[in-house]
Amino acid sequence: MYTNHIIYQNYIRIFMSIGFGLIGASSIARDVMIAAIRSHPNCQVKSVFSTNIERGKQYALENNIPKAQGSLEDLLNDDDIHAVYISTTNELHHQQVLSSARAGKHILCEKPLAMSLDEAQEMISICKDEDVVLATNHQLRVGDGVRKMQDLIAEGAIGKPLAARVFHAVYLPEHLQGWRLSDPKAGAGVVLDIVVHDIDTLRCILKAEPREVVSLSQHAGMAKHGAVEDGNMSVFRFENDLIAQIHTSFLVKYAGDGIEIHGTEGSISINDFLGRESSGPVILKNADGEHHFDATQHSIDEKTINFFVDAIKSGTKPGCTGEDGERSLAAAIACLESAKTGKCIKI
């Protein structure tokens, strides 16, 4: 089976267009990812899997998808499917990734990659064994603004980075106020939904890993379950001794969002970095004055798909690897543990 997978994947890499199967008839796929997949000249959405086959058929009809399937096995046995996009609830990612890898399908999996580090590490290992690409959909890291901040810091524009602040407090849209607020077993709460994104973005910008965290969670009234947090403030210490504050919430309507990095020789910032098509400019302040850099995104989701397809066809890295997903998950899990215990937690 392994040898057959290798031959099959090499054939796809060289000759074929890529047929995608959607694992999960989700709103994020409908609103964003289907269009991003179709924007690539060598990609098509071929099928969608939903445990509710009637819902799946309606979803396929509304989104012009040729097939709907009521079992994961049927989708994975479909020779028209070469890659899958997984956007089910978090507790399902682990087994769905393993099944997809063993069927020889390349995988783009929504964040958080898994519910535990053991699960994430097994997913990474099996994907390597089966020679399939595993990418985590931390799409914020591929935005023009984030990449420009990364480049400027690497060039020494602000000297040694000392501190960072991420403000990502939003109001959770009504159509998403379901399991994210009520189901701890599915990974509900603002930490696994938003903090994991923000720490991944900082890891990308700083090219450094967080080593410890102190965290306080908030239960401000939106979450329906006492164990589910709807707000959080955390301070992470990175390996280069930089300290970073992250504020996230599901209840704040007008805060806006942004990233600041402060160094020995200057500061760099971006507002509205969450925009899928555009963001505010990157602003650099140092001894030379204030400089603005355009940060038009040109669709971070299309970029994610481009990186993923390049990884399949050319062996390059996707925008966010499985290993990146595992490291950012480790930081989020430590954040939750700190909030629970009141202690500083090593990552």
What does the alpha-carbon distance between residue 25 and residue 176 come to, in Å, rounded to a whole number?
14
Closest CA to 300 of 87, 86, 139, 168: 139
- State the CB neighbour count (10 A cutoff) for residue 276: 16
100 φ, ψ (degrees, to nearest 5) = -65, -45
Residues with Cβ within 8 Å of residue 266, at least 6 apart in sequence: 157, 158, 159, 284, 285, 286, 287
**3 state DSSP class of 44:** strand
Residue 225 · residue 184 · CB < 8 Å: yes
Q: 293-318 pLDDT, tens per residue?
A: 987 767 899 999 999 999 999 999 99
pLDDT by residue, tens only, the chain of 347 residues: 445 555 555 655 555 789 999 999 999 999 999 999 999 999 999 999 999 999 999 999 999 999 999 999 999 999 999 999 999 999 999 999 999 999 999 999 999 999 999 999 999 999 999 999 999 999 999 999 999 999 999 999 999 999 999 999 999 998 888 899 999 999 999 999 999 999 999 999 999 999 999 999 999 989 877 889 999 999 999 999 999 999 999 999 999 899 999 999 999 999 988 877 778 899 999 999 999 998 776 789 999 999 999 999 999 999 999 999 999 999 999 999 999 999 999 99
Sheet holding 106-110, edge to edge: 67-69, 43-49, 18-23, 83-86, 106-110, 134-137
* Euclidean distance between CA atoms 113 and 137, whole angstroms: 8
Buried b (16+ CB within 10 A) or exposed e, 284-312: bebeeeeeebebebebbbbbbbbbbbebb
The C-alpha R_g of the chain, in whole angstroms, comes to 20
Give SS3 for 89: coil
Classify residue 139 as exposed, middle or buried by CB count within 10 Å of its CB (0-12, 13-18, 19+).
buried
Report residue 83: phi and psi, to 5°: -145, 155
pTM: 0.93
